[in-house]
Amino acid sequence: EAEVAQSPRYKITEKSQAVAFWCDPISGHATLYWYRQILGQGPELLVQFQDESVVDDSQLPKDRFSAERLKGVDSTLKIQPAELGDSAMYLCASSFYEGAGTEAFFGQGTRLTVV
């Protein structure tokens, strides 16, 4: 069964350093999401792509975060410089639009710890 792949699973970085996460969605899924999940809270949408285009990045802290999906397939989320408050689980998800009620498929996530 096809799954969304994310790497690395865990990342520890010092504050002010740069960090990057990678996501490979399910083949054929045009929509890709990056979510941030702080411990004890629900996933918060950071950015949504449709193919290679950003359709929503209203909650992305653009002074330090960037995301790209150059060929409309895999995607990279970058933080530079990392801050202590960025410690969280970063989830990637993808979907194939089937109209209303489309299901999103999630990766295992990358747990980031900033020290």
Partner 1 sequence: AQRVTQPEKLLSVFKGAPVELKCNYSYSGSPELFWYVQYSRQRLQLLLRHISRESIKGFTADLNKGETSFHLKKPFAQEEDSAMYYCALSGRRDDKIIFGKGTRLHILP
CB of residue 68 to partner 1, shortest distance in Å: 19
Judged by CB under 8 A, how many residues of this single chain contact partner 1? 27
Edge-to-edge strands, sheet with 65-68? 5-7, 19-24, 75-79, 65-68
Which of 19, 77, 79, 95 touches partner 1 (CB under 8 A)? 95
Decide if residue 60 touches partner 1 (CB under 8 A): no
Place of tokens 């792949």: 5
Q: Which residues 6+ apart lie within 8 Å of 1 measured at CB? A: none
Is position 25 an interface residue for partner 1 (rule: CB under 8 A)?
no
CA 16/CA 65 separation, integer angstroms: 13
| 106 near partner 1, rule: CB under 8 A | yes
Q: Are 47 and 67 in contact (CB under 8 A)?
A: yes
Taking CB under 8 A as the binding criterion, the range among 9-17, 19-27, 68-76, 97-105 that sits at the site for partner 1 is 97-105
- Tell me which residues touch partner 1 (CB under 8 A): 3, 31, 33, 35, 40-45, 48, 55-56, 91, 93, 95, 97, 100-109
